[in-house]
Structure 1
Amino acid sequence: MKHNVEIKSYLLQSGADLCGIAGIERFSDAPEGYHPTDVLPDCKSVIVIAKSFLAGTLACTTTIPYTIVRNMISDTMDKMAVAFCSHMEKEGVIAIPTGTIGPSEFDEKTMRFRNIVSVKHAAQAAGLGVIGKNTLLITPEYGNMVWLSVILTELELEQDPILETEFCKDCSRCINACPVKALGEPQMEQLTCWEYAFGQEGQGDWRIKCHKCRDICPHCLGSENGKMKRHL
């Protein structure tokens, strides 16, 4: 299994809803220490998988169902990625997972927490969608209701075209809706957002308490989840 069609077919049959591939040259702007080759020195291609998130969670009056789905999908995607990498290794190809929701590391140069490879930037580089003003990836198929996972491989694969779409033109709904004003230029106030949504370090709640920037987006659901709009 050393070609794009075979790889995508395997991952889609394993449960992914979307799959894209980016060449290593598309990561020239990655922060120092968080480039794919900082993780896997012989990395030639970055494979990104996405799984749609249950749109019905946005219709709830509590964030508990949203949190449950987030945790279960993350675990499912990590297992999917590890199984794929194990299959590749049996075929003599190195491929490694990087984690669906972390663990995050603190980058002292920028004073931000980062995954070892940014899943959203990798997904954008792989043509799956565009990062919006709410800092979430927006896809044509599922809007921003997707969870992402990144796999690095030494294989040199054909990369997918970058999506040339502007979702956020003349729109600032997410910026205006943020209860702690964490969104906006030049970049999101990450710790402000996290402390509000998850609680301060050592005092966190197990549930995610806020996802307003996801809900308010006009492209929240995309075409595949669009049938849910009449209920939300």
Structure 2
Amino acid sequence: IPEEFHPRSIYPEVTTVIVIGFPIQLPILETAPSIYYHELYKTVNSLLDLRAYELSVFLNDKGYPSIYLPRDGYAGIDVLLEKPFAFFSHKHAAYLAGLGSFGQNNLILTREYGPRIRFTSIFTRASIKPNPLRVEDLCTRCLRCAKSCPVGAIRTEGEFPPPIDKKLCAVRSAELWSKHKSPCGICIKVCPVGEDRKLFNRTDMSIYDGKGPRKYRRAWAHVQKYGTL
């Protein structure tokens, strides 16, 4: 991690980084881009901020100086178009905390939810035994995320995980934001990794290729018709 983005560059006294995550429910994500996913995304973001702040207050009350970090760390899509980086990377923190491995889409994949999980972090002076790195590589290299990306922001060749074209991704998000149905979510929707697929009976990946039961596509189309431009 470059020194500029190291936890001690933000909170010099930090001893431990705690990472928490909340899942994105797959059947809602499948409607993306939509107002339904838009609202879910906002809800999860708010919960992450709230829980991280509450945990930092709890630790402070126990005598361990702690601060929470916002789940994003940028003002909006217009800022990302000009400066496509936040001041701290929760996905790298999640990786180093042993919560998952990187995927082709440059996101953290977890055994439970694949990439369908959002993270945030708490910095604390409490000394907590770290989890071991998760050495298991969960990515199947199926390239579904890259092939499904509407703007071609995910590379299929070269280093792994490939750097995402953040500008293209931000342009896509800005377009959807203007129609009140950001974020995009397609690259995490089509990822086959995650036990949540069994829970929601979504192990047949052909449903994202226009095949399989029509009931799913009808449901997605219904939601997409309403609430946005």
State TM-score, norm by structure 2. Answer: 0.76
Deviation (angstroms), 1:218: 1.3
Equivalent residue runs for 1:40-51 within 5 Å:
40-51=11-22
Q: Deviations over 1:85-104 (max 9, x none)?
A: 11111222111111112236
For residues 209 and 88 of structure 1, the distance between their equivalents in structure 2, rounded to whole angstroms, comes to 33
Larger RCO, structure (CA 8 Å, separation 6 or more) = 2
In the other structure, the counterpart of 1:99 is: 70
Indicate the structure with greater strand content. Answer: 1
The CA RMSD measured in Å over matched residues stands at 2.5
In the other structure, the counterpart of 1:215 is: 189
In the other structure, the counterpart of 2:131 is: 160
In the other structure, the counterpart of 1:229 is: 201
Contact 1:44 1:156 in 2 (8 A): yes
2:89 maps to amino acid:
S
Q: Do the aligned partners of residues 170 and 88 (structure 1) sit closer, same or farther apart at CA in structure 2, a change above 3 Å counting?
A: closer
For residues 99 and 159 of structure 1, the distance between their equivalents in structure 2, rounded to whole angstroms, comes to 22
Q: Does 1:175 align with 2:149?
A: no
Between the two proteins, the alignment pairs up a number of residues equal to 195
Residue among 65, 82, 85 paired with 2:56:
85
Write out the 4+ residue segments of structure 1 that deviate beyond 6 Å after TM superposition: none
For residues 171 and 224 of structure 1, the distance between their equivalents in structure 2, rounded to whole angstroms, comes to 18
In the other structure, the counterpart of 1:15 is: none
Q: Do the aligned partners of residues 169 and 72 (structure 1) sit closer, same or farther apart at CA in structure 2, a change above 3 Å counting?
A: closer
Q: Which runs of 5+ in 2 are unaligned?
A: 77-81, 203-214, 217-229
Q: Does 1:68 align with 2:39?
A: yes
Q: Does 1:197 align with 2:149?
A: no
Percent of aligned pairs with the same amino acid: 27
Q: Do the aligned partners of residues 119 and 197 (structure 1) sit closer, same or farther apart at CA in structure 2, a change above 3 Å counting?
A: same
Deviation (angstroms), 1:146: 0.9
For residues 96 and 173 of structure 1, the distance between their equivalents in structure 2, rounded to whole angstroms, comes to 38
Contact 2:71 2:121 in 1 (8 A): yes
Answer with 55-64 or 36-45: which moved more.
55-64
For residues 182 and 76 of structure 1, the distance between their equivalents in structure 2, rounded to whole angstroms, comes to 28
Contact 1:57 1:63 in 2 (8 A): no
Contact 1:46 1:153 in 2 (8 A): yes
